[in-house]
Structure 1
Amino acid sequence: MSGTSPRLVTWENGTDLVIELLLARDVETVWNALTDAESARAWFAPFRLGAETGAEESDTADEADSDGSAARPITFALEDIDLNGSVLSCEDFDHVLLELDDFGVLGIRLLPFEGETGQETLLVFTHTAPDAETARGQAAEVGPMWDTHLRLFARTLGINIAEVTEPELVAVYSDLDLEVAESADATEVES
């Protein structure tokens, strides 16, 4: 995969915009780059974690509650505003699930992959919507933005990734195929 691979996937609780990106780096390297609050500035925005009450803040997402027991506030410092949300779940070197005020639920999962260069990582980004129609609208509206940020992230890792113009991204994200995820219930019924 020399670039991103987007699609829409319907499952029992909604429809996800799914963007996959194969990175020629091991999971630990990708996780450390992903969760470094200050280096996130290069591909999205610097962030801070902490309690809303002003409790001590942390600099890395991997220090979040890894058992997913309680949402933890997160703020991304964009150029002119703060983007607030919560870390819903975080497991070191595996995934982070966020709910951002202006975007909803977003996830990033890292899967180890034995590739041509040795240990590689499949980064799976998801943006959840309640239904397929909403997901199609979100994909057309914000899919190109997420794709661009993921490409920027790959470049911060020193990975040469193909350039794609905004009109090309808009065309791709405005016409994504819809897949239906197999649920555990559906598998049991077919058996």
Structure 2
Amino acid sequence: MYGKYMKKRNKNHRKKSLIILLIGIMLIFTPALMMQIIQAQGMQINDSRIASFHSSGSSIYDLLVIAPKKYADALHPLIIHKNQVGVRTHLVTLDDVYHQMFWQGRDNQEKIKYFIKIAKEEWGITYVLLVGDFRTIPVRYVYNADNNTGWDEPCFISELYYADLYDKNHNFSSWDTDNNGVYG
């Protein structure tokens, strides 16, 4: 009985630790904190240049946060903080991404990638934060075409899949140009 309780307790503790770690990392490197550190060193800061960096023309959001719905409440303080320091931030849950009838995508990975592409084109986002691990944010297994690497695995996990939105002709890059289900 005690062992079951400890396993459940440790599992919940790991989830909370992940969220706290992500929030901590984001808070550590905020522009407001960096300005305080720089000013403490006696350096001058041109605030208008910083403001123009964050309000880049016609973009609606700077940062898109994609996370499972169960993390939304924990991420809310981060979203508020980022918006307060001038990083226009928007949280979208995976449920929102997966259940939009008009999103294309063969699987959940491709639906997320299409959503990021549309958010970049429509909202002008510059940054994306995917919150979760391989159990909550689906990974893309990429085929290893180079057999001379010394690795036994035929494929590997690549988070670059979500960042590489366009092919050389500026069309959506599925990483599966021949539609055979082999990515990379």
Fold conserved between structures, TM > 0.5 = no
Query: Aligning the two structures, in what range does the TM-score lie when normalised by the shorter sequence?
Result: under 0.3
The structure that is helix-richer by fraction is 2
The structure that is strand-richer by fraction is 1
Larger Rg: 2
Q: Which has the higher contact order (CA 8 A, sep 6+)?
A: 1
- Normalising by structure 1, we get a TM-score of 0.26
